[in-house]
Structure 1
Amino acid sequence: MVPFTSIPEVLCLTGCPSQQILHVPPTGKELLNYNKSLSQLINSANVKEKTSILIEKSKYRLTVYYNQKPLKSYPVVFGGTPTGDKLQQGDNRTPEGILRIKDLYPHPQWSKFLWLDYPNPQSWRKHFQAKTQGKIAWYQPIGGEVGIHGVPQGADNMIDDRTNWTLGCPSLKNKDVEELYQVVQKGTLVEIVP
């Protein structure tokens, strides 16, 4: 159910925020600086405060930004239905929009888990719009527990082969999610675009 305190924002009673893209994507289809470590690319002690993430689903690319400049890209895969926005639990889609990391912790199966704040007011709004437009049934829940994580031990080939295996979470190679884990914190902005 929608948190009571979020109802004014979900219904746009306080004004709907614009849906503009916040990051300028790197040019081309290649991975930016993939063979360099983030520590080689960032020379700052307060890296976590200036880090954000852009995930481009159509390019299977997650890019780390520092001070709003693209630094490094990683290959990423998604849920079993990789196109389209997540509207309900069980649709195997990855949510699109502006999210934030709400927690991060080691994960027993997938190395690390960067838990995203899905559903947030923006996702609740899209969920209700889909219901009013008849795209999903009224009884369908929105879902949750979406985060950026690794793969089962020894399964990096799922990333190389672009195997969309999750229930909707973005998934990286374990070494990549471990590196990413070092430069993010609670509140880090994550933008996911088609």
Structure 2
Amino acid sequence: MRFLAGLFSFLTLAVLLAAAWFALRPPPMPRPEALTGPVTRIVVEKAARRMTVYVGDKAARVWPIALGFTPTGAKDRQGDGRTPEGRFRIDRRNAASAYHLSLGIDYPRPEDRQRARMAGVSPGGDIFFHGQPNGRPEGEVLAYDWTAGCIALSDAQIAELFAATPIGAEVEIRP
């Protein structure tokens, strides 16, 4: 009889704990609605490793990012591993990218070419917003600065951005 009383007490306690856990757990985060686009502006804050995507004047998404392997400072030359800084525009789309999907920016601008010419170096180019390298396990995200100067997102994020961002969208990359 004692055994049954102990078992009943244990089961009662387990049920109460489970009910408390369900009652006190935080509510699930609602899934954001898909970007209804078009994306009008993208702001990258390099130091914060953060990107804000705007639809009209409204911040629609804030995502963590990875940058070039030498992220501090503005891009100076090809191979420096830096992400450029300044104001740009989306100027190309690549659905067959080696990094899931990609959106290119109009770097180098004329002033970047001039600066590089005066220094006797190549300004570099092919700066993109892109996903993870193709062939990586689904959902895996490299959690460090690893690009050659691009801005890397998760594959799900670049897919959403790619679908809603037109050629000509503004891009601002801040230090």
Give yes or no for TM over 0.5.
yes
On the 8 A contact 2:46/2:174 being kept in 1, the answer is yes
C-alpha RMSD of matched pairs (Å): 2.2
Partner residue of 2:148? 167
Partner residue of 1:113? 102
Where does structure 1 lack aligned partners over 5 or more consecutive residues? 1-32, 132-137
Counterpart CA distance in 1 for 2:30 and 2:158 is 13
Runs of 4 or more above 6 Å deviation: none
Alignment length (residue pairs)? 144
Counterpart CA distance in 1 for 2:83 and 2:169 is 18
Partner residue of 1:156? 140
Counterpart CA distance in 1 for 2:171 and 2:76 is 18
1:38 and 2:34 matched:
yes
Partner deviation per Cα, 1:128-165 (whole Å, 9 max, x = no partner): 6xx5xxxxxx321111111110112327331xx3x111
On the 8 A contact 1:151/1:173 being kept in 2, the answer is yes
Where does structure 2 lack aligned partners over 5 or more consecutive residues? 1-28
Partner residue of 2:40? 51
Q: TM-score, normalised by structure 1?
A: 0.67
Counterpart CA distance in 2 for 1:34 and 1:145 is 36
Which amino acid letter does the alignment assign opposite residue 89 of structure 1?
A: Q
On the 8 A contact 1:34/1:72 being kept in 2, the answer is no
Which amino acid letter does the alignment assign opposite residue 141 of structure 2?
A: N
Counterpart CA distance in 2 for 1:192 and 1:55 is 5
Partner deviation per Cα, 1:4-27 (whole Å, 9 max, x = no partner): xxxxxxxxxxxxxxxxxxxxxxxx
Which amino acid letter does the alignment assign opposite residue 140 of structure 1?
A: V
Counterpart CA distance in 1 for 2:88 and 2:159 is 20
Q: Aligned to 2:161, what secondary structure does the other structure show?
A: helix
Larger Rg: 2
Q: TM-score, normalised by structure 2?
A: 0.74
Which amino acid letter does the alignment assign opposite residue 75 of structure 2?
A: K
Percent identical: 33
